[in-house]
Amino acid sequence: MPKEKILIVDDDLSGREWLEIMLRKAGYDVSTASGGKEALKMLNDSIYDLIISDIQMPKMSGVELLKHAKEVCPQTQVIMITAYASPESRVEAMNLGAYDYITKPFNNAEIKFIIKRALESKKLETENLLLKREFRERYTFGNIVGNSSEMQKVYDLVEKIGPTKTNVLIEGESGTGKELVAKAIHYQSPRKDKSFVAITCGAIPEGLMESELFGHMKGSFTGAVANKAGLFEMADGGTVFLDEIGELPLLIQVKLLRVIQERSFRRVGGTEDITVDVRIISATNKTLEEEVKKGGFREDLYYRLNVLQIKMPPLRERISDVPVLAGHFLDKYAKEHGKAVSGITPEAMRLLEGYSYPGNVRELENIIERGVALEQGQQLSVESLPKFIIEGRRVEKQLTYIPPGGLDLEQAVGEFEKELLLNALERAGGVKKKAAKLLKISFRSMRYRLEKYGLSMGEELEEDNDEPEGES
């Protein structure tokens, strides 16, 4: 791991050298400056974790340096030292953001303890920023859920891939749970105690992308009012998740390739190489191979990212997971909304299993959350489902989709016919004659088809004995 960087600022050579020798022996990366103006020039070229500055210095006092340092590098901790302590200077320094104020003389143990505490405080601040960012950007699916054979393959891959250091590419339609799988890989890895930083490439304006990823120095562009560490730097030792990697501009693709090859980069406007140790997990809802052929994605970067690949199945290919997913989301939102909804009626579940979910798991979650919010009873009913689910709307792709292993045509047609019969009966309130009219078939044909599929709906409410028996 990179050493923590400390800048010592003191016009007293002996005091400066004493601190430098002591802190180098303690394992820190130490730089020194003989005054405030020299220190400011160094701050323009590099980011330090901690500054230790004397207060009484010619040309620029330590308090002035503190003020400028907090403008340039707000995240840097500053410890003030002085042989001429006063309550006024202490209050001023603390109000300007100093971490601590120490009076000379001090011993090795004291200064080491305060430095360690200051650096731990900085680390906690960085982790809190990352946690807040993750909270804002996290998916709302809950945990990965599914017992289908398709998902079992995904689980097996995560278990095998997690402990490795290799970069991973996750492909799948929007809403299939790519970020959840990326997190599962991270938490299966030796990096699990380090940061997981998620970046949605398509959500960052192209002009800000480089700065967001790799950081910038003050004055490097309009609006760069302070030095800023990038997300790659903040994720050092952990995992970077690049969602929508196919949206990454070609110029940034080149810079990302360098990071992967050399494990280093420079901030925008910087001259110093920053070394990082991160694992990159990428995700895309595009076929990157096709993007490479079109010239929209670099082939060399594609092969660097696609060392190991996971393909997330769309929900329409694992409909058997709908009941367990729906139950999972029902429990989640019943608790969140304080509702006593503890199950889903058979009719509602049948409709949920009959839909094709172009929005995948995310769409199912939204449907269940909406249903829980509207439901007045103890079970999620048909009336609480969206109109397009009740009317049985499904996308053309679902009706004509043939899975990789093929299908039984007779069985598929039969299941579709059976579903239409049940939907018609439900719309007709269980009255077979009305259901037959909805399907534009005779009552006799309706009865025949129900018997064919073993669908007994009880006694007919409006039996029509006079209907001609034209169709069978």
DSSP 30: E
Residue 326 sits in a domain whose CATH number is 1.10.8.60
Take residue 9 and report the two structure tokens written for it. Answer: 């600022």
pTM higher than 0.85 for the full model?
no
Query: To the nearest whole number, what is the mean pLDDT of the chain?
Result: 84
Residue 143 in any domain: the answer is no
Residues 453, 358 share a domain: no
At 213, which CATH number? 3.40.50.300
Token pair in block for residue 270: 């910087």
Residues 295 and 384 in one domain: no
The answer to whether the CB of 342 falls within 8 A of the CB of 300 is no
With respect to residue 283, please indicate whether it lies within any of the assigned structural domains. yes
Read off the tokens for 115. Answer: 């430095």
pLDDT digits (tens, 9 = 90+) for 200-222: 988 888 888 888 899 888 888 87
Mind listing the pLDDT tens digit for each residue in 58-79? 888 888 899 888 888 888 899 9
Residue 152 — very low, low, confident or very high, per pLDDT cuts 50/70/90? confident
Give domain status of residue 144, yes or no.
no
pLDDT band at 128 (very low <50, low <70, confident <90, very high): low
Domain that includes residue 439, residue range: 408-472
Residues in the chain: 472
Gap between the Cα atoms of 170 and 425, Å rounded: 43
pLDDT of residue 205: 85
Kindly report, residue by residue over 367-399, the tens digit of the pLDDT: 999 999 999 999 999 999 998 888 764 433 455
Is the peptide bond between 358 and the residue preceding it cis, with omega within 30 degrees of 0? no
Q: How far is CA 56 from CA 62, 81, 96, in A?
A: 6, 9, 16
User: Are 163 and 288 found together in one domain?
Assistant: yes
Does residue 84 lie within any of the structural domains?
A: yes
Does residue 246 have a pLDDT over 50?
yes
Choose one of 367, 398, 429: the last residue of a domain: 398
Backbone conformation region of residue 174, classed left if phi is above 0, alpha if psi is from -120 to 50, else beta = beta
What pLDDT does residue 2 have?
Answer: 57
Pair (78, 217) in one structural domain: no
Q: What confidence score (pLDDT) does residue 138 get? A: 41
- Say if residues 253 and 301 touch (Cβ distance below 8 Å): yes
Query: Which structure tokens are listed for 134?
Result: 């993750």
pLDDT number for residue 348: 92
Q: Is residue 251 assigned to a domain? A: yes
Instruction: Note whether 299 and 367 are same-domain residues.
Output: no
Q: Is residue 139 part of a domain?
A: no
The residue among 439 and 137 whose pLDDT is bigger is 439
* Boundary-marking domain end, from 312, 331, 346: 312
Query: In the numeric block, which tokens belong to residue 52?
Result: 């230790």
Residues 118-130: what's their mean pLDDT?
Answer: 76
Whether the per-residue pLDDT at 268 is higher than 50: the answer is yes
Looking at the structure, do residues 275 and 368 belong to the same domain, yes or no? no
Q: How many domains does the chain have?
A: 4
Answer yes or no: do 295 and 379 share one domain: no
pLDDT score at 130: 64
Asked if 16 and 32 count as a contact pair (C-beta separation under 8 A), the reply is yes
User: Do 245 and 348 fall within a single domain?
Assistant: no
Beta bridge partners of 229: 215
Q: 455: domain CATH number?
A: 1.10.10.60
450 and 373, same structural domain?
Answer: no
Residue 102 lies in a domain: yes
**354 pLDDT exceeds 80?**
yes
Q: Let me know if 360 is exposed, middle or buried by CB neighbors in 10 A (0-12, 13-18, 19+).
A: buried
**pLDDT of 403 over the 70 cut:** no
pLDDT score at 380? 94
Same domain, 16 and 111: yes
pLDDT at residue 185, as a whole number: 92
Q: What is the CATH number of the domain that holds 61?
A: 3.40.50.2300
Whether 141 is covered by a domain: the verdict is no
Q: Are residues 160 and 279 in the same domain?
A: yes
Indicate if 287 and 329 belong to the same structural domain: no
The residue out of 312, 338, 365 marking a domain boundary is 312
